[in-house]
Homo-oligomer: A and B are copies of this chain.
Amino acid sequence: MEIKIVKDIMGANEQIAQKNRQLFDRNQVFVVNVMASPGAGKTSLILETIKRLKGRVKVGVVEGDISSSLDAEAIGKEGVPVVQINTGGECHLDANMTSTALGSLPLGDIRLLLIENVGNLVCPAEFNLGEDLRVLVSSTPEGDDKPFKYPLMFHEADVVLINKIDLLPYLKFDVDAFTKTIKGINQKVEIFPLSCTTGEGVDRWISWLLSQVKG
């Protein structure tokens, strides 16, 4: 009985995700679903990405949070179209919430849509939003054992950004071991170490993202 309900929810989500996908295709929008633990640096990554793409690619943003519009306000200051979704307790975005937000975005004017998911290493991995790319921001202070504990998220990611590498001198975090563990779960994943605070490594991520958007 319970399993059936979960199946129905997932089936319904997948249908709406396909509709989102068609809408993105019609408007030639490349869509990135940004996922992470709370405080790993999703908003900082989005802000850095917007700044470095200014004048090169038109960006729009969907901000998912359980509550508050702090992040949408910060992003709005960069002069890009942004819509806030407050999930009202839900621990992830789903395709339907995303669909609702899309009505408030000028999709025809956007080439790249960044969707910031709710801070959570578990549930968002299960919900397709219709995106092209799943980016997992994993920050060094969280520890290099996270892929063992949250394998689905690392398995589902197309890209892992190892954020906050500026803190490496003060932490026990083995970048090589972390990379090896992730590759063991997910062979096709792209991995970029970077710091949104110092800017180190961000250019490599931006170049790769541009190649995907324009590819």
A89 interfacial by beta-carbon distance below 8 Å? yes
Number of A interface residues in the complex (CB < 8 A): 33
Is the CB–CB distance between B38 and A91 below 8 Å? no
Is the CB–CB distance between B121 and A119 below 8 Å? yes
Is the CB–CB distance between B149 and A65 below 8 Å? yes
Across-interface contacts of A143 in B (CB, < 8 A): 39
Since A37-B38, A66-B122 are in contact, a sample of 10 more A-B pairs with Cβ atoms closer than 8 Å, ordered by chain A residue number, is A37-B39, A39-B141, A39-B146, A66-B150, A68-B148, A89-B122, A119-B149, A120-B120, A166-B170, A170-B170
A210 interfacial by beta-carbon distance below 8 Å? no
Assembly CA distance A166 to B141 (angstroms): 12
Tallying the copies of this chain within the complex gives 2
A11 interfacial by beta-carbon distance below 8 Å? no
Is the CB–CB distance between A119 and B150 below 8 Å? yes
A5 interfacial by beta-carbon distance below 8 Å? yes
Within 8 A of B (CB), among A133-173: 139, 141-143, 145-146, 148-152, 164, 166-167, 170
From A68, A120, A166, residue with most partner B Cβ within 10 Å: A120
Select one of B123, B149, B167 contacting A141, CB under 8 A: B167
Across-interface contacts of A150 in B (CB, < 8 A): 38, 66-67, 119
Interface of A is mostly: loop
A118 interfacial by beta-carbon distance below 8 Å? yes
Across-interface contacts of A123 in B (CB, < 8 A): 91, 122-123
Across-interface contacts of A40 in B (CB, < 8 A): 142
A70 interfacial by beta-carbon distance below 8 Å? yes
